[in-house]
Structure 1
């Protein structure tokens, strides 16, 4: 009878082990806890002015076909505040010489995490827990995956998006719908 009882318990125990291993695997994939100890530093230069045009053939030296383009201009900026994770750095909305726009993160320092994005939003930046979940309530544009959790990086604003309609930037965890940190853009 003891052997018969053990035979009935083994399939049940094997099922529990399979479910536990599958659950642990899913949990590791979903939460990616190792990223908390992995830093990714990205250092990008701000895109500079487009090269000046050259003088047309036969023109006197020093003459040019068109004026040299104006370098990047900061339209708005702000300081990142912490939300779900300690976050610091500066955010600048920059118009480039060709008329395109980029959001520039400078001296960014935040935690790494799964599925982090840079969002341009119209949401107000609130301190503390009140600001964790507000950025997907209104209008927002994802500028792409966060390139690194440390450093200075550029994120192109898509063509056709008017940056004047947005007032903040969030480092957004798309997987858990929470802001790691955000900055209000003060127009300059």
Structure 2
């Protein structure tokens, strides 16, 4: 880590070395470090269909092999033309390879996610879960701010979870692209 990037020139001239080191450590500890392979998924409630139907992904994943993918927004062009349709088309094939559940997460309300799932014919193939306050997304440390979409959204990613642990995680390099998180690229 380059200490000069963390503190201003004026601070460098006036501070004691121990103060500089402490500031560098504090600054580096606030950087987002997303969860990684081997980590347990966060114990956060998501919502399916209505605000009354809570789904805790950590509990749902116990004893199962799951694919979870996240999108920046329901009904958005890349998500509706490519990302979700790819998983819908490959759902039967992926489940034949031992996948128990396929879940799509977005920072939206549950009514929007339900309507999007129906519109995309995902029912019975993909569980559409709403991360209404971005709590799961923030716990994964895969949040991003996209002003035109209303603020905090999820980065685009896919992961495989086995018995509550992440075994594969692909995060799009720019957070929104369509490459490594697609159904065709999933690493089982």
TM-score when scaled to structure 2?
A: 0.27
The structure with the largest alpha-carbon Rg is 1
Give the structure with the higher percent helix: 2
Structure that is richer in strand per residue: 1
